[in-house]
Amino acid sequence: MTKKTRLGTLARRLAAPGAALALAASGTAALATNAPASDLADYHRQQVRWADCRQGPDDEPGTGLDRAGARCAQVTVPLDYSRPKGPTIKIAVSRLPATDPARRIGTIVLNHGGPGEPTLGMPLETRAHLGKAGARYDLIGLDPRFVGRSTPLDCGWPAGLWIRSAGSDRAGFDRQIAFQKDLAERCERRHGDVLPHVNTRNTARDMDIVRTVLGERRISYLGYSYGAYLGAVYAQMFPGRTDRMVLDSAGDPRRWGPRPLVGTEPPSERALRAWASWTAARHHDYGLGRTPRAVLATVDRIVQASSTRPLRVGSYTVDEHVIPYLVYGGVGSDQDQARAGFASTMRVLDEATSGATVTPNPELEGVLRFTLDGATSHLVSPAAAIMCGDGAAPRDPEVYWNDIQDSRTRHPLFGPITHNIAPCAFWPEPPREQPARIANRAAALIVSATGDTATTYRGARALHRQMTGSRLLTLRGAIAHGIYGAYGNDCVDLKVNAYLESGTLPTKGLTCRKP
């Protein structure tokens, strides 16, 4: 999820399958079935026009795709698969053709995760990761429905990311109820007619229409985080139509839903302690404490200060609802650059506790813009819509408050984040179908780090058990989310590439280690 800055990592943290589905009896919809193939025949036979990808002078992904020789198209799909003769939407697709067509393996469809991250430009970076196998694949970037160029959805939120801490008391939680309710109502006003059709199962159906338009009997697949979940759902819904699948930073599909962060508290706490040790060893650089305990005390002091009075950071006011999430989002990588950026962020916030207005460092500026600025609404509202469309959330705020209070005793910093109320509690209608139950023998290589704070290693092992034809590639000793081609572990990259080139899974699970 992308893998360039914490903004991309934060987006992937939205996809952590960490909550049991809360399908209330009143909100459980009947499981919709795929439309008969005959009803979709016109979609399968459609002729698309491949053209330049660049849409304007500032379109960097499109410019890069054109330079690399890719072409782009719009594929027509039904808005509602139960009414294939009804309204339609457009799905944006890019294709970077194999450069060694004589040894071409096939087509590989890509997904960054999120949910809700645009994927159209992903073929560019992926080809660089694939090594010798890269020349043998057509690489397909596909913006999921209502994301990026695929009939985009923007709820017009006044803030960006909706994830917040519930705060320290009931008054703070009540503020969150009002905040999250407002976000849901804005989505309903703008997009109430399409929200029922925003879900993972429909995205998988769109993928299968793209497969037929590309003329492929089977497709290979590479997906990260939520993208791994999407790949598992596709393999379940369309058996026999996948070839080689890499599911990176996957979680437990049974726990995917509108409360996606529940269950991530323990690995996040371990990651925070590991960062505190790293930072204490660099006290001369950051001044946050000479011991891990002292660094953690500094973090606690910043959190407590924000509950007394919001901190002024540049043009932003950062309160007790945001500060804990900055910590939660900041500890998800053990790479030195990420840890240094987060340490710099905490140094700025520590200075802000004096009451002065401080200037954010570039790392903090980017995260605050993503979290608090309404200009990012188009990036995050599709993610909320997908989550809310995939599983019914509890509607009673007291359910969340009781869960927060219970979790607070065990996880005082992270529990009020992971259990907090969200827009899904006020979504205009419950999901129209249940999520796919994953139980298949599809071949797949599942990649997971033991210290993943977003889609936990426990969740990856659960997916491995549900996909009995899969193998698990474990990266031990690493805190990472989004590993292949992103984390910089040669062992992982070589093993994934060997599978994508040969098509042969290992006979048993594989292990790599952080150097």
Predicted confidence (pLDDT) per residue in 263-303, tens digit: 999 999 999 999 999 999 999 999 999 999 999 999 999 99
| 213 burial via Cβ count (<10 Å: 0-12, 13-18, 19+) | buried
pLDDT band at 34 (very low <50, low <70, confident <90, very high): low
- What is the model's pLDDT at position 2? 39
Q: Is 230 helix (H, G, I), strand (E, B) or coil?
A: helix
Find the DSSP H helices in 214-291: 226-237, 265-280, 283-286
- pLDDT greater than 90 at residue 444: yes
Torsion of CA 432, 120, 125, 232, to 10 degrees: 20
For the chain, percent helix, then strand, then coil, each to nearest 5? 45, 15, 40
- pLDDT greater than 90 at residue 27: no
**Average pLDDT across the chain, whole number:** 92
- What gap in Å lies between CA 327 and CA 389, rounded to an integer? 28
Prior bond of 258 cis (ω within 30°): no
Amino acid at 186: R
**Averaged pLDDT for residues 469-485:** 98
Tokens encoding 163:
């994830």
pLDDT digit string (tens) for 199-244? 999 999 999 999 999 999 999 999 999 999 999 999 999 999 999 9
- What gap in Å lies between CA 212 and CA 45, rounded to an integer? 8
DSSP state, residue 432: S
- pLDDT greater than 60 at residue 440: yes
Q: What is the CA radius of gyration of the chain?
A: 22
Residue with more model confidence, 30 or 373: 373
- What gap in Å lies between CA 445 and CA 471, rounded to an integer? 5
